[in-house]
Amino acid sequence: MIQSSVQSVDRLRVEVKKLRDMIEDGFANDAVYKEHDTAAKAAAKVKQATKAQIMKQPAVLALVNKMKTLNSELKEKQYSLSDYLLEYQRISGANQIETDDGQILEIVNSAKVIRKTK
């Protein structure tokens, strides 16, 4: 069943890619769209330059660094929580846990397949 599902997912991905390419060709062949796309890209360049200037300000840099630190800590805490929940689920056999304030939380496991490079 797993192999069949993987093959089915691969076929669907190929089909979606073909359709996406056909749609993009339709946009690429439209003169009005090309004109608007060029104008949008020019505006995006101006926006990006302005954003880069703002990001160089010391106060903004400090906030960015703090945000990176907090995101790293958050990711670490989420991994720890996942490990704790898997262990709790294994030991207790329960798929739910109650918080201190009485809220019931359901433990959900998720798995995915990724291709290994050869």
Contacts 24+ apart (CB under 8 A), 5-14: 6/113
pLDDT digits 0-9 by tens, 20-61 = 999 999 999 999 999 999 999 999 999 999 999 999 999 999
Please state the domain extents for the chain.
1-52, 57-111
pTM of structure: 0.61
pLDDT digits 0-9 by tens, 89-106 = 999 999 999 999 999 999
Q: At 19, is the pLDDT very low, low, confident or very high (cuts 50, 70, 90)?
A: very high
* Residue type at 17 in one-letter notation: K
Chain center to CA of 116: 20
* Residue type at 10 in one-letter notation: D
